[in-house]
Amino acid sequence: MQALSIAATGMMAQQLNVEVISNNIANMSTTGFKKQRAEFQDLLYQNLRRVGTNSSDTGTVVPSGVQIGLGVKTGSVYRIMNQGDMDNTGNKLDMAIQGRGYFRVQLPSGEDAYTRAGNFSLSATGQIVTSDGYTVQPGITIPSDATDITISKDGQVQATIPGQTAAQVVGQLDLATFPNDAGLDPQGDNLFLETAASGAPSVATPGTTGVGTLLQGFLETSNVNAVTEISSLITAQRAYEMNSKVITAADEMMSVTSNLK
């Protein structure tokens, strides 16, 4: 009886589905978080009567055959890169990306990571850094005596210095885009790494063709929709229960068979 193993694959698939949904719900308030979705594929089929084979010496062909599926497997868990809402924080160093693109962050190892979370701060030396102290590329330092910071939509950073009538340009932020955003490797801490699946990054000035713009004083919120996730959770729970009932039914059928005299 294949029903036991088939239903077991269904339960494992729905367990993973619930884990993905629970991670989405847990990150509802995470800045720049992009929700994930589990996709499933059917397993191999056992052919009890192969479709298209000859059913007689006169050349008649079996029109449909008999195929028994062996269950389900996880095909992928991909990330949905839809834009989140904009939350007005009023913080001069908070930046949200409207459109495509990622901030470049230099890790302690020297390699670049990428993030949509723009909740930045200043280091002890005046550099713009992440909440973990990683330098936001290309490494912009704000003068210690600056009284105000202005960041334009195209990423130009200006500082107001006492005694100067015009704001001083102190740096230019850029954004990285990828051919396949879903191929980025999540590292936690709102950071992603480049992979062979994502393709090489293209670094450009915000606002150029195919690249988003910056919004100072705002943060991009998570794109998780609570109603959608709860509905998906209920569906996954019901599917898990139905697969468990199949296992119970298969066990009862095997019990009847074993008790035959």
pTM: 0.83
Sequence-distant (6+) residues with CB within 8 A of 216 are 92, 94, 95, 150, 151, 152
65 or 211: whose pLDDT is higher? 211
Q: What are the tens digits of pLDDT across the range 241-254?
A: 999 999 999 888 88
pLDDT at 255 (0 to 100): 85
pLDDT at 19 (0 to 100): 96
167 or 165: whose pLDDT is higher? 167
| 68 sits in which H/E element | strand 66-69
pLDDT at 65 (0 to 100): 73
Report residue 143 as tokens: 């003068």
Q: Which residues pair with 88 in a beta bridge?
A: 218
Q: What are the tens digits of pLDDT across the range 78-87?
A: 899 899 999 9
pLDDT at 220 (0 to 100): 95
The pLDDT of 212-235, averaged and rounded, is 94
Asked if residue 1 has pLDDT above 80, the reply is no
63 or 41: whose pLDDT is higher? 41
Q: Measure the CA–CA gap between 210 and 177, rounded to whole angstroms.
A: 8
Asked if residue 150 has pLDDT above 80, the reply is yes
Q: Measure the CA–CA gap between 7 and 18, rounded to whole angstroms.
A: 16
Phi, psi angles (nearest 5°) of residue 141:
-110, 125
Angle subtended by helix axes 3-26 and 226-258, to nearest 10? 160
Phi, psi angles (nearest 5°) of residue 242:
-65, -40
Is the backbone of residue 199 left (phi > 0), alpha (psi -120 to 50) or beta?
A: left
Read off the pLDDT band of 261 (50, 70, 90): low
| Lowest mean pLDDT, pick from 51-55, 181-185, 249-253 | 51-55
Q: Which long-range contacts (CB under 8 A, 24 or more apart) does 243-250 make?
A: 243/7, 243/8, 243/10, 243/11, 243/14, 244/7, 244/11, 246/3, 246/6, 246/7, 246/10, 247/3, 247/4, 247/7, 247/8, 247/11, 249/3, 250/1, 250/3, 250/4, 250/7
Report residue 245 as tokens: 């009932």
Q: What are the tens digits of pLDDT across the range 13-47?
A: 999 999 999 999 999 999 999 999 999 998 887 77
pLDDT at 54 (0 to 100): 76
The amino acid present at 248, given as its one-letter code, is T
pLDDT at 166 (0 to 100): 86
Q: Measure the CA–CA gap between 234 and 18, rounded to whole angstroms.
A: 9
The pLDDT of 143-169, averaged and rounded, is 90
pLDDT at 235 (0 to 100): 95
pLDDT at 111 (0 to 100): 93
Are 158 and 149 a contacting pair, CB within 8 Å? yes
